[in-house]
Amino acid sequence: MFSSSFRKNISTKRTSWVCLLSLLVLSLLKTSIAFNNGQLSSSFRRVSRTIRSISTIPNDVRVNINVKDRPRILVEEEQTIIVEKTKNKKEKRKAKKTKNNMDGDIPSLSAVRKMLPKKTFEINTATSIFYFLLDFAGVATSMGLLHKLVTSNFYHGLFWMQQAAVAFPLQLLTGFAMWCMWCIGHDAGHNTVSKRSWVNNVVGEIAHSVCCLTPFIPWKKSHLQHHLNHNHLSRDYSHQWFIREEADDLPAVFKASYKTRNFQLPILYMVYLLLGVPDGGHVFFYGRMWEGEPLRQKLRGAVSSVISIATSAFFWTKFGFADFTVVCMVPWLVLSFWLFMVTYLQHHSDDGKLYTDETWSFTKGAFETVDRNYGLWINRMSHHMMDGHVVHHLFFNKVPHYRLEDATKALQDGLQEKGISHIYKNIETPHFTQEIVKQFNDNWFFINEKQVVRK
């Protein structure tokens, strides 16, 4: 139908346009790459030159262009991109090397994990429930005996100072039993009671919301932030840090708190839960821990708060105000003292360090926590909350409390073998009550500027 010369001309033009479009697409692709590297304007100039170079090629030549005959500008562009990619890789390697130098002798989390036996990470629900029931029995028995005492004729026949003296040993015992139960709820908050989330939630609500009057879900929420930001100067939860050299610049309320610090130890946990200092309220929801949280999360936290409030109301109504105070609230203050003492001493030491955004890493923060030996039986009854805290911070959602003792020994051996045992902090603290009073009096929440690791 058409002459052979016409078909040949059409084919030649079609091939020319296909070649032209292919080169344009290639140039546009390279333009997008250059845009990501901040070279948009130069890339447009290159594309323009490429188009002009193509347009000057005669039609009978364009069809014969192959890969080897591409315009020089395209080859130069590819070479520029290769150089830039190589430069970026070198910069990443340099940044990684700099970070490793800053970390010093701190091993990676995977290297630490290899030091520990595989059994360390085994969560046994039956074992966890056994300890939970044991501590529940301890709280119920000690509180039952205390209630029986304060409702007896013997007790009511005593002068009020004699009543206080008689009740105090049982109050100390009940408070310590509540502290041990709190440690079980602590495991539930880290999902290490069981691999089943509902078991952790049930145990946590009973151990914390009921037995310890600590709303479980709000506490779990703030405590997680503490573990994710441990020993960070500004992001750490549970612990408030002030630079000692900046004490004069503190607000008046904090200056007043510092001056009355020696009277606060038994009530600081109550201040933390109710007033929300420094993280936010755990009974009434406000503060930084609730910023941007969806309504569903707040409603779930409210369930825990209602359980704690309802438990308090039940025993207040059943016992009356006076007996409720003696049987429940004084032991709760003992629990509060234990909790603050253990937590404070775990994160405060003379050579402890804090980090900023530029210097912090998860593993470095974990190795700034402190293992303290309170004595064999106190350590065991407290579920190794004191003497296994470094391992706990390294693997807070993987190691149950009954694995901490063996894991800590394995960690010490592993660090010793690698010649970096100096990064592990372990302090003998047999006189723990004297230690907390001394440390809190001397340091409060102050940290020296030289202990802050800045870039």
Q: What is the pLDDT of residues 371-380, one digit of tens each?
A: 999 999 999 9
Q: Which two tokens stand for residue 335?
A: 């629990």
- Residues 429, 444: Cα–Cα separation, whole Å: 18
- Residues 436, 431: Cα–Cα separation, whole Å: 9
Average pLDDT over residues 165-177: 98
- Residues 163, 182: Cα–Cα separation, whole Å: 28
Q: Which two tokens stand for residue 57?
A: 């090629």
CB burial string 380-418: b at 16+ within 10 A, e below? ebbbbbbbbbbbbbbbbebbbbbbbbbbbebbbebbeee
Are 455 and 356 in contact, with CB atoms under 8 Å apart? yes
87 vs 145, higher pLDDT: 145
Q: Which residue has the tokens 């879900």?
A: 217
Residue 69 confidence (pLDDT) above 90: no
Average pLDDT over residues 146-158: 97
182 vs 6, higher pLDDT: 182
Which candidate, 312, 346, 333, 110, places its Cα nearest to that of 227? 346
239 confidence band (pLDDT: 50, 70, 90): confident
Q: Which two tokens stand for residue 209?
A: 């919301």
Q: How far is the CA of 107 from the CAs of 111, 174, 364, in angstroms?
A: 6, 41, 9
Bridge partners, 372 (sequence order): 427
Residue 75 confidence (pLDDT) above 70: no
Q: Which two tokens stand for residue 410?
A: 């394995």
Residue 54 confidence (pLDDT) above 50: no
Residue 209 confidence (pLDDT) above 60: yes
